Amino acid sequence: MRLLLCIICACAALSMEAAAQQFPSRTIRLVNPFPPGGPLDVVGRLLSERLSASLGTPVIVENKPGAAGNIGAAEVAKAPPDGHTLLLTLFSIVTSNSHLYDKLPFDPLKDFAPVTTLATFDSVLVVHPSVQAGTVAELIALARANPGKLNFASAGKASPGHLAGAYFSQRAGVQMTHVPYKGNADAVRSVLAGETQVMFTPTTGALAHIRSGKLRALAVYLTDRADELPDLRSLAAQGIEGFDAGSQPSWYGLLAPAGTPREVVARIHAETVKALKDEKVLAAFKAARMFAVGNTPEEFALMIRAGHAAWGKVIRETGVKGE
């Protein structure tokens, strides 16, 4: 029996080594579990171009939206663990969704092999220019005077933007009406059109509209890096606590299916980190107010577990649930 076990282990090791040596053997899919046009698309398409060159095989981004990212994530979780199907993930898929949904088609802490954190980002509270508020205090006063009449947009029910709006409303003691859309880009467009008045969104998708005056920014949150928006104060500085990287860790990451050979994960990690150091990538990230990371798989795993605990606290306090 011992000999048989040794043979089985040896064969498994040889199989993993062979898989690593053959990688990549075909097109690599980066599954984006959200619609095209959002911030994660920016990251994914920058990454795919450079990985295609460094790995010597086509690397394509496939959008598989739906169910707050759960549909695309489930597809990757069930994919062959050979490195050819990877998940471009927003933090929420593996940190908050298990607190929001009673049943997930995957286990966020067991069904993926962390590769690396691609970038952290900050977010911004914006309003339509017609809203008579130039500060957070003025927005709160307006919301209190008109309970339920201010609509805030999000990328969907139980999305990070929904959680942020619900958490803000709770902390500020106001009532605003949530209006979910099918993706961040659609939500931003709704505020631009005046269909909704307020949004909590990654700065990536709003910065150009803030600069053009089509949106008015009231506060930045998650980081205090306001170099692109030097006159903008954070939510914490304006009296709203709980909107920081510790309380609401927010990032984009890269995951492989659990069971992917370590050698394959290491290869993907090395080429991804190299891509994140590319000058054009760094310039694009800076323009979009994203901050490249490229940590180790082990460090990324710790970030996921810490985020799972932190977002669980926010969700319990707001009472938000997914559908």
Mean pLDDT (whole number) for 254-267: 98
- pLDDT tens digit sequence for 282-307: 999 988 888 999 999 999 999 999 99
First to last CA, the chain: 50
Question: Does residue 14 surpass a pLDDT of 50?
Answer: no
Other beta carbons within 10 angstroms of residue 189's beta carbon come to 17
What is the set of domains in the chain, with CATH numbers? 28-121+250-318 (3.40.190.150), 123-238 (3.40.190.10)
Q: Is pLDDT of 84 > 90?
A: yes
The residue to which tokens 């054009």 are assigned: 280
Instruction: List, for residues 136-169, the tens digit of each pLDDT value.
Output: 999 999 999 999 999 999 999 999 999 999 999 9
| 70: nearest Cα among 113, 44, 34 | 34
**186 pLDDT more than 70:** yes
pLDDT at residue number 68: 86
Chain segment 16-41, per-residue pLDDT in tens: 455 566 899 999 999 999 988 888 88
CA distance 248 to 155: 17
Name the one residue in this structure whose structure tokens are 């984009």: 252
Within 10 Å of residue 245's Cβ, how many Cβ atoms?
16
3-class secondary structure, 245 = coil
- Strand-pair category, 123-127 with 198-202: antiparallel
At 16 the pLDDT is 46
Q: Which residue has the higher pLDDT, 309 or 3?
A: 309
Confidence tier at 3 by pLDDT (50, 70, 90):
low
Element (H, E) at 185: helix 184-192
- pTM value surpassing 0.95: no
Q: How much is the pLDDT for 287?
A: 83
Burial class (CB in 10 A: 0-12, 13-18, 19+), 230: exposed
Predicted pLDDT of residue 19: 53
Rounded to the nearest 10°, the torsion over CA 47, 53, 54, 59 is 50
pLDDT at residue 9 is higher than 70:
no
Nearest Cα neighbor of 122 from 237, 207, 212, 34 is 207
Distance CA 301, CA 158 (A): 23
